[in-house]
Amino acid sequence: MRKSKVLAKIRSGEVARLCAMGSFLPYFPRLANAAGFDGIWVDGEHKPFTARETQALIAFHHLADIDCLWRPPTREKNGLYRILEDGATGLIISHVGSAAEAQAIVDAAKFPPLGDRGLDGAGFDAEFGKNGGASYPADANRETALFVQVETPQALAQVEAIAAVAGVDGIFLGPGDLSLRLGCKPDATDPVMADVHRQLAVACSRHAKVWGRPVANQTDLDLVLAAGAGFVVFGGEFRMIQNALADCGKALDRALEKRAATG
């Protein structure tokens, strides 16, 4: 089966480079690969994707040879491993608040003896039966990335126990939700958030795991990397389009004002 670029980077001690998308854009995986990204965080939690759109978008990731890390709107066990059978490289699960919740995610995403995932062997991840033999469960366990999101103070208090769960590859900080609950800014420059980074770094280091988060600018990127993040999400299609349209609108304003002034 296809090997995960994100996990390969993490296992070699390098920083995995992710970007984000929440829209059905078939060209985006190819452009992200050309820009040097290892994977894409696809947000199916807040953005709607039909089952066929999910299958198609994951297939476009395979064509581009870039990891697809899907954040689903459900924790339903069969629903989670169906996404993996459709070819997703891994899962990002939101609002995981305890080791027990993390273990339930591992049970859904990993085969025995690590988890309790149901076996099919005829999906995209098993090359439609071509790699559905004896090695398939072990291959899938090795190459399926699993990140759980810490997004509440209660989860932060349990982060070491969450990081200790076998089968969890890393802790994904949700700075928006956590900052909302801590009463701070999501920026890495905020002292409260900087302390969160330190807590994550310590917990993950003790259990040979990695942590990471989305960043919005160069300053945050530099600070998060300095704090020891093993992966970062930098760049997403929504902000890119929003910013580009704003720039175009400003350029049109200037051009039209100039024409009006010259009569």
For 45-58, what is each residue's pLDDT tens digit? 999 999 999 999 99
DSSP classification of residue 124: G
Which residue among the candidates 46, 61, 95, 207 is catalytic per the annotation? 46
Instruction: Say if residue 142's pLDDT is above 80.
Output: yes
Q: What is the mean pLDDT of the chain?
A: 97
Q: What is the pTM of this model?
A: 0.95
Beta bridge mates, 43: 71
CA 253 to chain centre: 38
Quote the pLDDT of residue 137.
95
Does the pLDDT value for residue 89 go beyond 90? yes
Residue 131: pLDDT band by 50, 70, 90 thresholds?
Answer: confident
Residues 6+ apart with CB under 8 A from 165: 99, 102, 103, 106
pLDDT of 132 > 70? The answer is no
Whether 165 has a pLDDT exceeding 70, the answer reads yes
Under 8 Å between Cβ of 158 and 23 = no
201-222: average pLDDT: 98
62 is catalytic: no
pLDDT at 128 over 90: yes
Q: Is the pLDDT of residue 104 over 90?
A: yes
More confident residue, 131 or 257: 257
